Amino acid sequence: MVLPLLLGDQGSLPFQDCAPALPGRLLGSFLSLSPEYTFVLEDEGGPCGYAAGALHAENFLQQRDSSWLPATRHKYPPDLGTGGSEAVLFFHAEPLAVPQPVLRRFPSLVQLGTAPRVLDVGASRSLALCLLSALRANGSRGVFCQVSDADRQQLSFYSKLGFVALPVAWGSSPGSQLLGRLL
């Protein structure tokens, strides 16, 4: 599988025995449920970034929770590997519901990521704009995403794309926030 390369050198991946779960955590639901809005960035070293989205986030999240997530949980039981890796345990945590006001104003979901070796911010920006343009061309009027408060690089990148922190109470997810952008 090529997608683990998005996370860095395969030799440095933690939990080698659970490595197949890593790309599933990042892109599995998007590749299964919304492949038409999944784009990959490549350089001379191969795949090095991605931009994934769902035009109708509410439907996407319902399908993820009712069909994709249960199948993935069956495929990756929590005791897989040495005590269960973070990537495997991710599938067994209950996802937080996105507040309805967010879904009404920002009906599409996006997720962006690049490997540390990508130094050209322009390439990452072009990939993100490609996804945003595709969503807008198909009727979306706004997008949202979840970002860890600790990931300053991602927060800065989304900010430069015009995303702002959404002032909504969002479950009990300490250390992360919802960002939104109108299209």
Give mean pLDDT, residues 82-103.
70
The string of pLDDT tens digits covering residues 38-79 is 999 888 888 888 999 999 999 999 999 888 888 877 777 777
Q: Is the distance from CB of 144 to CB of 130 less than 8 angstroms? A: no
Tell me whether residue 108 is exposed, middle or buried, using C-beta atoms within 10 angstroms of its C-beta: 0 to 12, 13 to 18, 19 or more.
buried
Class of domain 22-182 (CATH, top level): alpha beta
pLDDT for the residue 168: 77
Mean pLDDT of the chain: 79
Burial classification of residue 156, based on how many CB atoms lie within 10 Å of its CB (0-12 exposed, 13-18 middle, 19 or more buried) = exposed
Out of 24-28, 78-82, 117-121, 168-172, give the one with best mean pLDDT. 117-121
Q: Which residue has the higher pLDDT, 85 or 132?
A: 132
